[in-house]
Amino acid sequence: MDNQPLHLKYRPPDLKSFVGNESMIKSLSSVIGRKEGVPHAMLFSGPSGCGKTTLARILQKGFNCSDQDYTELNAANVRGIETIREINRTCQFAPMISSCRIFLLDEAAKLTNDAQNALLKLLEDTPSHVYFILCTTEPEKLIKTIRTRCTHFQVSSLPDRTIVSLLKDVCEEEKVDLPKEALTEIAKISEGSPRQALVILDSVIDIETDEDLLKAIQDYSVRTSVIFDLSNALLAKSKWKDIIKILSSLDMEPENVRYSILGIMNSKLMKGENNKASYIIEEFTESFMYSKKAGLTNACYRVVVLKKE
């Protein structure tokens, strides 16, 4: 029996299986289908959970690049210039098995300015056997010369009807019959993210009665609502006692809260709705994996109290 989480089990293996973003997929298929002139630097941007790194892994297969010649780095964790220097050293060697090497830089906008400038030099003189794929939710934070050097593909969030269709297909494959009302509710709270929709589905798929199922989804929705309340309070720089009240009602893992708030703030920035979102992102960049609730509380405190001083 396959015990993989649903969002991994049903990750699209090829472009034909990729859900939504039809125009972008057609454009990407056209570009990588060329006999000559395939770009050596590609940039995927868009909201979290919509398939950017999935597309990178699909390209790995499409280019017949072995795992030994494929390097995936999270730039949020390895932000400095030494990372790019190491990539540069590796680029000088021929691929071990394949005909090419691929470097995926996830969260590429998190690279330091020095690292981005070093990367630019690599993009300007890329060896013929090397391809770079950059993924980010914040393309505006990449220096302009990197953006212009890359072939840019924007990955959009999905409409609710597309999410519902995806959930139906997964339920059929899993041989479960969930009411349409439940699938519609999951689509609403997933905010256009197929990954998030499948994570939610995975958490409720084994619930036997429709009543308990809908309650579980509603509970998930309530937790999501509390995160939005917290995000809005941070943007408004509410009184600290009001923030404490919201934090006290939050029963989610602090690291999951951090991811959610980053997603909301990124959305605000992308829409140009609230410039305060930028410094909230700064305070929520560091992981709460070890600091837990204390890290979350401290980040909120820095936003609403210290930023006022």
For 170-179, the pLDDT digits (tens) are: 999 999 999 9
Asked whether the beta carbons of 71 and 101 are under 8 A apart, the reply is yes
pLDDT of 28 reads: 94
pLDDT of 39 reads: 94
* Encoded tokens for 50: 């919509």
Distance between CA atoms of 248 and 196, rounded to whole angstroms?
Answer: 24
All structural domains of the chain, each given as residue ranges with its CATH number in brackets, are 21-154 (3.40.50.300), 212-309 (no CATH)
pLDDT of 274 reads: 66
CA neighbor of 152 nearest in space, from 134, 165, 129: 134
pLDDT of 224 reads: 74
For the chain, which residues score pLDDT lower than 50? 1, 309
